[in-house]
Structure 1
Amino acid sequence: MADIHANATRFHVHRLSGDGTGAAVVFLHGLVVDNLSSFYCTLALPTAQAGHDVVLYDQRGHGRTERPPTGYDAATAVRDLTALLAALDLDERPVHLIGNSYGGTLALHTALARPDLVAGLILIEAPLSGPWIENMLDTLSVAALDLEGSQVPQELASIGARKAARLTATADALLNRTTLIDDIAASRPFTPADFARVRCPVLAVCGEHSELVPGARELARHAPHCTVRVLPGLGHDVLQGGTGELRRAVLDRLAEAARRQPEAVTV
Structure 2
Amino acid sequence: MAEILANSLRFHVQRLPAADPGPGAGPTVVFLHGLVVDNLSSFYCTLAVPAARAGHDTVLYDLRGHGRTERPPTGYDTGTAVQDLTALLAALGLDEHPVHLVGNSYGGTLALHTALARPELVAGLTLIEAPLHGPWIENMLDTLSVAAIGLEGSQVPRELTSIGARKAARLTATADALLNRTTLIDDIAAARPFTPEDFARVRCPVLAVCGEHSELVPGARELARHAPDCALRILPGLGHDVLQGGTEELRGAVLGRLAEAARRRRPQAVTA
Smaller-chain TM-score bracket: over 0.9
Whole-angstrom distance in 1 between the partners of 2:109 and 2:27: 21
Equivalent position amino acid for 2:105 in 1: S
Q: Does residue 11 of the first structure (1) align with residue 11 of the second (2)? A: yes
Equivalent position amino acid for 1:12 in 2: H
Give the alignment partner of residue 116 of structure 1, picking from 116, 120, 124.
Answer: 120
Whole-angstrom distance in 1 between the partners of 2:250 and 2:53: 16
Other-structure match for 2:170: 166
Give the alignment partner of residue 98 of structure 1, picking from 83, 102, 105.
Answer: 102
Unpaired runs of 5+ residues, structure 1, are none
TM-superposed deviation, 1:260: 1.5
Whole-angstrom distance in 2 between the partners of 1:66 and 1:193: 35
What are the within-5 Å matches in structure 2 for residues 167-186 of structure 1?
167-186=171-190
How many residues get paired?
A: 263
Give the alignment partner of residue 135 of structure 1, picking from 129, 134, 139.
Answer: 139
Give the alignment partner of residue 155 of structure 1, picking from 154, 159, 162.
Answer: 159
Q: Deviations over 1:199-243 (max 9, x none)?
A: 100000000000000000000111010011000000000000000
What is the root-mean-square deviation of aligned Cα atoms in Å?
A: 0.9
Unpaired runs of 5+ residues, structure 2, are none
Give the alignment partner of residue 34 of structure 1, picking from 33, 38, 58.
Answer: 38
Runs of 4 or more, structure 1, over 3 Å off, are: none
Query: Structure 1 length as normaliser, TM-score?
Result: 0.97
Q: Does residue 47 of the first structure (1) align with residue 51 of the second (2)? A: yes
Query: Structure 2 length as normaliser, TM-score?
Result: 0.96
Q: Does residue 205 of the first structure (1) align with residue 214 of the second (2)? A: no
Other-structure match for 1:72: 76
Other-structure match for 2:228: 224
Q: Deviations over 1:159-195 (max 9, x none)?
A: 0000000000000000000000000000000001000
Q: Do the aligned partners of 2:201 and 2:227 also contact (CA within 8 Å) in 1? A: yes
Q: Does residue 242 of the first structure (1) align with residue 246 of the second (2)? A: yes
Where 2:186 maps in the other structure, the secondary structure is: helix
TM-superposed deviation, 1:261: 1.9
- Worse-superposed segment, 112-121 or 15-24: 15-24
Whole-angstrom distance in 2 between the partners of 1:156 and 1:37: 21
TM-superposed deviation, 1:55: 0.1
Where 2:264 maps in the other structure, the secondary structure is: coil
Where 2:87 maps in the other structure, the secondary structure is: helix
Q: Deviations over 1:134-167 (max 9, x none)?
A: 0000000000000000000000000000000000
Where 2:125 maps in the other structure, the secondary structure is: strand
TM-superposed deviation, 1:22: 3.4
Where 2:265 maps in the other structure, the secondary structure is: coil
Equivalent position amino acid for 1:70 in 2: T
Equivalent position amino acid for 1:58 in 2: D
Q: Does residue 61 of the first structure (1) align with residue 104 of the second (2)? A: no
Q: Deviations over 1:102-139 (max 9, x none)?
A: 00000000000000000000000000000000000000
